[in-house]
Amino acid sequence: MRYSKLLIPTLKENPSEAEAISHKLMVRAGFVRQLAAGLYIYLPLGWRVIEKINRIIRQEMNTIGAQELSMPILHPAEIWQETGRWNEIGDEMFRLKDRGGRDMCLGMTHEEIVTWLASKEIRSYRELPQIWYQIQTKLRDEARPKSGVLRTREFIMKDSYSFDIDDDGLERSYRLHEGAYRNIFSRCGLKFYMVESDPGMMGGGMSHEFMAPSPAGEDEIALCDNCGYGANLEIAGSIPGIPQFPSCPQDPSERFEEVETPEKRTIEEVTSYLNLNPELFIKSIMVIGDDGPVLALVRGDQTLHEKKLKKIIGNFRSAHRDEVKELLGVEAGFIGPMGHKIRKVADNSLKQGVYVSGANKEGYHIKGVKPERDFKAEYSDIHIAKEWEGCPSCGKPLKVEKAIEVGNIFKLGTKYSIPLKANYLDEKGEEIPIVMGSYGIGPARIAASAIEQNHDENGIIWPASISPFDVHILPLNTKDPKTIEVAERLYGNLKTEGIEVLIDDRDERAGIKFKDADLIGIPYQIVIGEKNLKEGMVEVKDRRSRNVKKFKIEDLSAIISLCRT
């Protein structure tokens, strides 16, 4: 296509609202424009990238036997009420009424709708398994849209749903998706990990996320290079290192030592005051659950993992100052696990060792506290995994990386098929709920991740598979007839070969064309300048390596083969 006819509004300066690299570059290079918070317009170049990604997704989904269909974005409330999610989901769902006053919503995802369809159309085990997918707009009233197209209120998602007769079938569909997803992300040129994740509001059983490592990512993942363990920090386990504990006095009367710690409340204050490492402290956090107060105990160097705790004690909130004082008679900075009957949940790492904890006495801490002996607690993993802690499966050190969630796969089981009565008849004529899976990919997140992982100071470096064009022709001086003639001939010939070509036919200076070409990031640039033309040559520049090769003008096949690699 001709640059002069395309809408490619490049910007010399970074947009003020952008923070993430992919966001800055997508705006600067003329791929997207923001309409409002979390709402983006895809300009021609941006849309070409999304379409390239979608094509790869379609190919890989079709390969595993998935069938494409399309479901509405506007949904009647009743279906969401039947699964209970109408009430479970809060402000994140866009809700509206139609003219007849009926409650409606805009689809955040399509489990309800696809299950409704299955309940109507699937009769027999002979019709299973099925995989249905769509590439469809989703709407979520995000509390905080951010990072350009990474978190938006309206976005396109490839979502697929599997229907099987039993768990073994679901396992097969799940693995088929895993394979397809690995192919898709690899073909899109992404570095990624598949990690264990929290099923969250999807419910059901196992789930994994596909994570593209990037500093712009909102998620953190724990990874083990040794055994391949990988998990979102939302659920990642870890084996904390064991600190050197002080020896415990034999004489029971000398066990405890109350130490005065005036005005020292936080772990930092107390550790520096007593000159002890934070690992030798018990951090006590008072929360109020549905069944009353709970004291959560983690080691001083650890952070309480609220989601892990929630799985044990149910919903809770942190206790107010006066509640702490009422329950333990002392303010929060000096509370500890001893001498009261409040339910205690402690991190596993506290099972061994001797610690300092709050003394439940204003201005005092207590040394020599030995869990199990000195107080009883329920033990569980309730700390957030950290880099260098041990891998829960092999013990080797973990690393923690930020990552963008580009895809996920969930085993739903019968969570949706039961309430929506999506059943099939088995060989015996018995009615059995269909076993389902749900699988998502965000094409815009793939595009943003590709930029996050492939750019330099001059701009984007697209992986060839998802680049808006294959080749960018730069006729430097459009007033030189020879330049134009060669450029046009090359343009025509490459197009005939099925190569997607952008030709910068603008009457602009060479510098501007070079800068825009590097910013836009098409993997190969064919530079047509008068000096080389005199020798019958053109240059082909590799955007990533910046290597330049000269070719004879007639040597089209060599140019083509270079650009196709």
Partner RNA sequence: CGGGGCGUAGCGCAGCCCGGUAGCGCGCCUGCUUUGGGAGCAGGAUGCCGGAGGUUCAAAUCCUCUCGCCCCGACCA
Q: Residue 341, interface with RNA (CB under 7 A)? A: no
Residues 72-91 that bind RNA (CB under 7 A): none
Q: Residue 145, interface with RNA (CB under 7 A)? A: yes
Q: What is the closest distance, in whole angstroms, from the C-beta atom of residue 440 to RNA in the complex?
A: 3
Range in contact with RNA (rule: CB under 7 A) among 50-58, 262-270, 325-333, 506-514: 506-514
Q: What is the closest distance, in whole angstroms, from the C-beta atom of residue 261 to RNA in the complex?
A: 28
Lay out the site mask for RNA across 282-321 (x = CB under 7 A, - = otherwise).
------------------------x---------------
CA distance 291 to 476: 74
Residue from 532, 544, 553, 556 in contact with RNA (CB under 7 A): 532
Which residue in this structure is represented by tokens 């590439």? Answer: 135
Q: What is the closest distance, in whole angstroms, from the C-beta atom of residue 243 to RNA in the complex?
A: 26
Q: Residue 408, interface with RNA (CB under 7 A)? A: yes
Residue from 81, 529, 556, 560 in contact with RNA (CB under 7 A): 529
Task: Classify the C-alpha dihedral 335-341-344-349 as positive or negative.
Answer: positive
Residue 19, both tokens: 């923070």
Going by C-alpha positions, the residue among 162, 118, 133 that lies closest to residue 69 is: 133
Helices (H), 64-221: 77-83, 85-88, 111-121, 167-187
Other CB atoms closer than 10 Å to residue 142's CB: what's the count?
16
Q: What is the closest distance, in whole angstroms, from the C-beta atom of residue 473 to RNA in the complex?
A: 13
Residue from 92, 166, 258, 378 in contact with RNA (CB under 7 A): 92
Ramachandran class of 61: left when φ > 0, alpha when ψ lies in -120 to 50, beta otherwise: alpha
Helices (H), 91-243: 111-121, 167-187
Residue among 232 and 360 whose Cβ is closer to RNA: 232
Q: Residue 475, interface with RNA (CB under 7 A)? A: no
Q: Residue 68, interface with RNA (CB under 7 A)? A: no
487-491 contacts at long range (C-beta below 8 A, 24 or more positions apart): 487/528, 489/553, 490/526, 490/528, 490/538, 490/553, 490/556, 490/559
Which residue in this structure is represented by tokens 């768990």? Answer: 167
Q: Residue 144, interface with RNA (CB under 7 A)? A: yes
Residue among 357 and 438 whose Cβ is closer to RNA: 438
Q: Residue 547, interface with RNA (CB under 7 A)? A: no
Q: Residue 38, interface with RNA (CB under 7 A)? A: yes
Residue among 35 and 227 whose Cβ is closer to RNA: 35
Residue among 367 and 472 whose Cβ is closer to RNA: 472
Ramachandran class of 172: left when φ > 0, alpha when ψ lies in -120 to 50, beta otherwise: alpha
Residue from 2, 4, 5, 11 in contact with RNA (CB under 7 A): 11
Q: Residue 440, interface with RNA (CB under 7 A)? A: yes
CA distance 105 to 111: 14
Q: Residue 20, interface with RNA (CB under 7 A)? A: yes
Other CB atoms closer than 10 Å to residue 515's CB: what's the count?
16
- Report the run of H or E that residue 448 belongs to, with start and end: helix 443-453
Residue 57: CB partners within 8 Å, gap ≥ 6?
135, 158, 184, 441, 443
Give the interface size with RNA as a residue count (CB under 7 A).
63
Residue from 2, 4, 5, 37 in contact with RNA (CB under 7 A): 37
Question: In degrees rounded to 5, what are phi and psi of residue 136?
Answer: -140, 155
Q: What is the closest distance, in whole angstroms, from the C-beta atom of residue 145 to RNA in the complex?
A: 6
Residue from 113, 180, 476, 487 in contact with RNA (CB under 7 A): 476
* Residues in contact with RNA by the rule CB under 7 A: 10-17, 19-20, 23, 28, 34, 36-38, 92, 108-109, 140, 142-147, 151, 157, 159, 200-202, 218, 306, 405, 408, 410, 438, 440, 442, 458, 476-477, 479, 509-512, 514-519, 527-532, 539, 541, 548
